[in-house]
């Protein structure tokens, strides 16, 4: 059994709102765990941009996302939720990739009703409801009896003005949510839903609701992303420009948490024990 998936399911069932904080690498996963977040989130845009320098247009594959997500999940004790985008183009893709996610250390994912190339210059539409239901059903079948959490992401409230594909119709979002829950989704996700919209979504939908973006306490949890990888990229750009312009970078190298995050003491003890057992010197001699 995937114990991290069980932990995530228990978090949701507890009924207390929580934040799954951005973790786009193994180290940032350790950081959000150290700070005290009960869960972490790997966004597709965060991973495609930071690790592959690619836009979130559907060109970044689930093979690549699975590799990154499993690496991050293995570095943490808290559960990781992954952005699985569309899980491929067919129900066969959805079944195959779900089975691989379930076999990994990832605790859950969200699959969306968007069409590729997503969030691009193409002004697309959402996947027909029946097709999204079939995709969710394939995910449920692939999961089997494991506790892995399947989140259906509905982009109806993700407007075209922000390169989404939704029409902004709350009634349509609720209808889609009910259909996705009927197909077997454990949780429903509505990116960019306003607090007012969330209150109605929570009241009218039969399964827990989460949001992607700002935190809404009435919902089950928030998937928080963007602030980490974009902040890191911006800082790197600023310091690279400073180095190019001046030949040096002014920054405080003190980072006392580094040793704990990298488990340096544990590895030092192992190496010191090996050195003593084999008659080799150590820096303490």
At 234-251, the pLDDT tens digits run: 999 999 999 999 999 999
Is the pLDDT at 285 greater than 80? The verdict is: no
Is the pLDDT at 280 greater than 90? The verdict is: yes
Average pLDDT over residues 23-50: 97
pLDDT number for residue 123? 67
169 vs 179: CA distance, rounded Å? 16
- H-type helices in the chain, by residue range? 3-14, 26-35, 44-52, 62-74, 91-103, 129-143, 170-183, 195-204, 227-246, 258-261, 264-277
266 vs 259: CA distance, rounded Å? 9
Tokens 């293995």, residue located:
74
Predicted TM-score (pTM) above 0.85: yes
Q: Which residue has the higher pLDDT, 164 or 2?
A: 2
Average pLDDT, the chain: 95
Average pLDDT over residues 13-37: 98
The residue among 101, 86, 83 whose CA lies nearest residue 47 is 83
Q: What is the largest CA-CA distance in the chain?
A: 73
Three-state secondary-structure class, residue 273: helix
Which of 124-128, 190-194, 243-247 ranks highest by mean pLDDT? 243-247
How far the first Cα of the chain sits from its last, in Å, is: 46
pLDDT number for residue 68? 97
User: Please, what's the b/e burial string for 137-172 (b: 16 or more CB within 10 A of its CB; e: otherwise)?
Assistant: bbbbebbeebbbbbbbbbbbbbeeeebbbbeeebeb
Pairing relationship of beta strands 209-212 and 149-153 according to DSSP bridges? unpaired
Q: What band does 278 get if pLDDT is binned at 50, 70 and 90?
A: very high
pLDDT number for residue 124? 79
Tokens 């940032």, residue located:
28
pLDDT number for residue 58? 85
87 vs 106: CA distance, rounded Å? 15
pLDDT number for residue 213? 82
Give me the phi and psi of 58, to 5 degrees please.
Answer: 95, 5
pLDDT number for residue 107? 98
Lowest mean pLDDT among 6-15, 108-117, 201-210: 108-117
């Amino acid at each position: 059994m995937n114990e991290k998936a069980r932990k995530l399911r228990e978090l949701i069932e507890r009924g207390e709102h929580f934040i799954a904080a951005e973790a786009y690498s193994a180290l940032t996963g350790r950081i959000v765990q150290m700070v005290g977040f009960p869960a972490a989130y790997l966004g597709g845009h965060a991973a495609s941009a930071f690790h592959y320098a690619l836009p979130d247009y559907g060109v970044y594959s689930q093979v690549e996302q699975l590799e990154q997500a499993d690496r991050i999940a293995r570095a943490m004790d808290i559960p990781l939720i992954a952005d699985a985008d569309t899980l491929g183009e067919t129900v066969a893709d959805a079944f195959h990739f779900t089975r691989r996610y379930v076999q990994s250390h990832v605790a859950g994912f969200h699959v969306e009703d968007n069409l590729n190339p997503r969030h691009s210059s193409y002004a697309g539409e959402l996947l027909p409801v029946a097709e999204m239901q079939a995709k969710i059903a394939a995910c449920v079948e692939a999961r089997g009896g494991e506790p892995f959490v399947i989140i259906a992401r509905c982009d109806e409230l993700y407007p075209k003005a922000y390169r989404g594909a939704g029409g902004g119709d709350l009634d349509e979002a609720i209808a889609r949510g009910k259909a996705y829950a009927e197909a077997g989704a454990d949780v429903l996700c509505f990116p960019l839903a306003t607090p007012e919209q969330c209150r109605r979504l929570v009241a009218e939908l039969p399964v827990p609701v989460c949001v992607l973006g700002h935190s809404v306490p009435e919902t089950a949890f928030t998937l928080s992303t963007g602030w980490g990888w974009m902040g890191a990229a911006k800082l790197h750009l600023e310091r690279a420009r400073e180095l190019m312009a001046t030949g040096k970078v002014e920054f405080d190298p003190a980072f006392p948490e580094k040793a704990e995050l990298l488990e340096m003491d544990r590895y030092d003890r192992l190496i010191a024990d090996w050195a003593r057992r084999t008659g080799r010197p150590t820096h303490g001699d």
